[in-house]
Structure 1
């Protein structure tokens, strides 16, 4: 009786379709679009370089973290479309290249040896995900996320100024109010599309 109970407790029924997919090694889930998480928080998680590289570094070396998507964005080329691109555009419109992919004809080198990217093909832009903060409970993090994602910048210092010391001030009054217009325009392009997709 105990064996029968364990069989029910530890096993589950599998449909014929799922069992065929598992036996044939087919993926159970497939998506036509890539989904990318974009870190916008100052206290975001960072991964250290591999131990093999850390051993070769000096004890006073401070650059021990792997570069993430925001770092690559800040080191994007200062030419053409890249210059006026916000982080959301960069994340959804470009993909990071590794290994032999960097030798391809469409590989674009980033500044400061931060790697290579390639523009995605037309109509295949990635879906971006990000942490959502409450405007009432965490206003600084909320406005930082908006500025970080939707306002073109090269460093985080450009998202504030001495005249507008908070992210909220810079969002509302920066550059004569043009920051808010620019951010809101880009935000509409990326946020609020989920409801439309669910209805279809």
Structure 2
């Protein structure tokens, strides 16, 4: 069901063969093929062959022949998941065919058209029967194609190396799966051997940063309405905020997660923002705290990570840069200090906070970014603040770019 909790994740398998692009030797390619055949399959057994697996594959691994709105691209004519999939008598890696001249370009056009025609004929045939290899061979004969030529033709379709799994004619709509996992998991899966790590990372990031198109349309309509009504900027922001909070569409599953206060995010690493630049945004103290201050007191902001870094103890342990401090240490109010901490506690010199080393993995840091060419001074000030062990910002001298280039103390890791 769309909206159900699911995972997109890379898995590293011990002793798996490693694909090395164009430099992969034939022996490794064969090992990859054997590895894929060992752990994945597209087999769609009949009820007589294996009734239980037939049910699982039909209900969980079959792509809808009607397609969904989300899987059709190019004006609703092409499935972005490439269903129905190409059938094959064996698992093999297809490498893209690169045309060398105009004749090759024309040949590719003809081959692609023939593949589309073959696909249409297979679609029409399977409406009335279960496809067999005899049906497929008959269609190939009609176009004067051999099976070997058909396998080669698949290299004209993709611009990157691609694995074509062994697939029977009746499994054109089946996603590859692991039989043992499917029986135990009883849910859909899509297992692929990664040939292109960058494409895999990009695919994962596209999901984690996927925009909500319906919300964008609503916000755009609200913005247009405000512009036509000549409302003030303040009123427009209120309307946009109201639209965002009151019209967001979420699935039933997400609503349950939120209502039950179940965590929506898990991470093996912590993240921390480092306000490394001197002009980073600051948060005001609470209204109550401000009311207790002298009217001329300029100490109106809450302390941030940079303040705590500059207030760190003088111990040799803390002769570190701001990036290491943020990544390897965590701090908390003194009143929350545990009586039996797992790691030693150190107190800041003036601020009412304590600091201790992180247990386990270091946190991933995030920090402001400036363009080196267009904003050099801010770029180098930020870089120096992050990676040079200093006690206060006055130790950094302007111009920062010159200080960066000629300073002897600079930590080489930042270069």
Confirm or deny a common fold (TM above 0.5): yes
Q: State the Cα deviation string for residues 128-160 of structure 1 (Å, max 9, x = none).
A: 001111110000111111100000001111111
Q: For the Cα contact (< 8 Å) 1:101–1:107, is it kept in 2? A: no
Partner of 1:134: 371
Q: Choose the corresponding residue for 1:110, options 335, 345, 348.
A: 348
Partner of 1:172: 405
Whole-Å Cα distance in 2 between the matches of residues 44 and 21 of structure 1?
35
Q: Choose the corresponding residue for 1:158, options 366, 391, 395.
A: 395
- The alignment status of 1:31 with 2:267, answered yes or no, reads yes
Q: Choose the corresponding residue for 2:315, options 79, 88, 97.
A: 79
Q: State the Cα deviation string for residues 78-110 of structure 1 (Å, max 9, x = none).
A: 00211x210000001111112642254433110
What TM-score comes out, normalization by structure 2 length? 0.37
Q: For the Cα contact (< 8 Å) 2:290–2:300, is it kept in 1? A: yes
Bigger RCO (CA 8 Å, 6+ sep): 1
Q: Choose the corresponding residue for 2:331, options 89, 96, 103.
A: 96
Q: 1:85 to 1:13 in 2, by over 3 A?
A: closer
Whole-Å Cα distance in 1 between the matches of residues 300 and 271 of structure 2?
27
Whole-Å Cα distance in 2 between the matches of residues 22 and 60 of structure 1?
44
3-state DSSP class of the match of 2:262? coil
Q: For the Cα contact (< 8 Å) 1:36–1:128, is it kept in 2? A: yes
Whole-Å Cα distance in 2 between the matches of residues 90 and 119 of structure 1?
9
Partner of 2:386: 149
Q: Which runs of 5+ in 1 are unaligned?
A: 1-8, 189-200
Q: 1:98 to 1:171 in 2, by over 3 A?
A: same
Q: Choose the corresponding residue for 1:40, options 276, 288, 292.
A: 276
- The alignment status of 1:68 with 2:301, answered yes or no, reads no
Deviation of the 1:168 alpha carbon: 0.7
Q: For the Cα contact (< 8 Å) 2:348–2:354, is it kept in 1? A: yes
Whole-Å Cα distance in 2 between the matches of residues 51 and 23 of structure 1?
31
3-state DSSP class of the match of 1:92? helix
Partner of 2:290: 54
Q: State the Cα deviation string for residues 30-87 of structure 1 (Å, max 9, x = none).
A: 11221111112222211121111111221222211111000100010000211x2100
3-state DSSP class of the match of 1:36? strand
What RMSD, in angstroms, separates the aligned Cα atoms of the two structures? 2.3
Whole-Å Cα distance in 2 between the matches of residues 79 and 11 of structure 1?
50
